[in-house]
Amino acid sequence: MTYSIVIPTLNEVHSIPRLLESINCQTLRPKQVIIADAGSDDGTREIVESFGATIVPGGLPGEGRNRGASVVSADLILFLDADTILLQPDLIASSIAEMQKRNLDIVSCDVWPIEAGLGSKIGHYIYNSYVRMMAKIHPHIPGFFILVKKDLHDAIDGFDETVVFCEDHDYGLRAAKIGRFGYLERGKRIHVSTRRFKRDGILRSVAVYVLAEIHIWHFGPIRTNLFEYGFGHNEAHETHSIDKGGKARSGS
């Protein structure tokens, strides 16, 4: 099966090179690498172009992923976040092989911090254990790594662009209703940045995600900016929101 990669970006000049380099080191190369950019002004687009990736207009992550998926010509779509890295050279090849062997339509894997502090490791271990435990009851599919059949993505009309926070969670819940979802065997990991925890603080970040989980369970998808979600990153640690015209606005 062929696959294409879709990555939403906004000012990722410091993160996107290492992700693209790690993609180039994979034993199974993608048919396409598609960057859905929400108006970066820090050199992100120039770096992406130097790697030969395709750029399409983006927006908030759900919208960006949909725009990227709309030009995918492969059997599978791998959605990645810009601040991730594929440290296992055979991660994608082995993930697709396992997906086929288990006859799954959409999969995700454990997330593990790039920065290896003990507290961060413990937090990610707890998260991985929780989402695995809940997989059959209430699937969680983190946007860091979503490997999905293009036909299933199309069947659920992609990401709901009215969902402004935990849109990946909503996507996974809808996909699991009509497709076969599973977590890949332990040992397959996507390595992720802990920059949001550093910027917002661990306690605040954990509290936000716990409250978001409660909201989703009891009230459904989050369609208002209740949790003041910021998309994108730069060296000055600014957050960005997206206006209705699809352009980024900065704030401290």
| Helix orientation angle between 167-178 and 61-69, rounded to the nearest 10 degrees | 50
The SS3 of residue 40 is coil
The confidence score (pLDDT) of residue 88 equals 96
Between residues 119 and 59, the one the model is more confident about = 59
**DSSP H/E element including 242:** strand 239-242
pLDDT digits 0-9 by tens, 74-112 = 999 999 999 999 999 999 999 999 999 999 999 999 999
Helix axes 202-219, 118-133, angle to 10 degrees: 10
Q: What is the mean pLDDT of the chain?
A: 88
**Amino acid 243: pLDDT:** 39
Mean pLDDT, residues 156-182? 95
Give the confidence band of 248 by pLDDT, cuts at 50, 70, 90. Answer: very low
29-38: average pLDDT: 97
Q: How distant, in Å, are the alpha carbons of 34, 37, 98, 148, 170 from that of 158?
A: 16, 18, 23, 11, 10
Asked if pLDDT for residue 117 goes beyond 90, the answer is no
Domains of the chain: 3-193 (3.90.550.10)
Alpha-carbon gap, residue 223 to 171, rounded angstroms: 13
pLDDT score for 176: 96
- The encoded tokens of residue 119 equal 């507290």
Q: How many CB atoms lie within 10 A of CB 95?
A: 24
Output the pTM of the full model: 0.88
CA distances from 144 to 81, 110, 244 (A): 5, 10, 25
Tokens of 203: 């306690």
pLDDT of residue 12: 96
Query: How is residue 231 written in tokens?
Result: 């998309």
